[in-house]
Amino acid sequence: MNIEDRELHKRKSHLFMLLMLAEADNEDSPLETLFINKVAERLGMTPEDVKEIDKNPENLTLVIPKAEHARMEILYDLLFLMKFDQDVDQSEIDLVHRLAFRMGFRPTMTQEMIEVMKQHIGRNVPKDSLLNIIRKYMN
C-alpha cells in the first residue's frame, strides 16, 4: 500500500469509527449525521464517501494512526459525537472505551473525558477541561 492509499485508509477508518459510534445506540440522529459529514469535510472527504463507508464496512479494516495527535483527534471526534445528540448512551460509552483503548489511551483518562462530556450535554465543553485531563495522563 502506497502512502496516498494509506492516508486515505486512515481517513476512512476515522469516519468508520464515528459511524460505528453513531449506530451504537440503534438510533438514527440527523445531528450525528451532520457532525460526521462535517468531520468528513475536514478530512477532505464527502458525504457520499461517508455513505459508501457505511454501506460497505466489510471492505474496511481499522487503521490506527501512529501519530499521537492523529489518535487524539479521533478520540476528540468520538467524544464530541457521543454528546452531539444530547444523549450519552451506555453502548456509546462502551464503544468509546474500546476504541480509545485500541488507540493506546488509558481507560482512566478516557473515563474522565467521558465524564466531562456527560457534564456538558447541551452546553459547550470548556476548552481547558479536556486538555487538563490529557496533561494529567501524558506527563
Query: How many domains does the chain fold into?
Result: 1
**Matching residue, cell 452546553:** 123
The string of pLDDT tens digits covering residues 23-82 is 998 888 999 999 999 999 999 999 999 999 999 988 888 999 999 999 999 999 999 999
**Matching residue, cell 485508509:** 9
Domain that holds residue 133: 3-138
pLDDT at 112 (0 to 100): 98
pTM of the model: 0.94
* Cα three-residue angle 91-93-96, rounded to 5 degrees: 110
Q: What is the CATH number of the domain that holds 70?
A: 1.10.3680
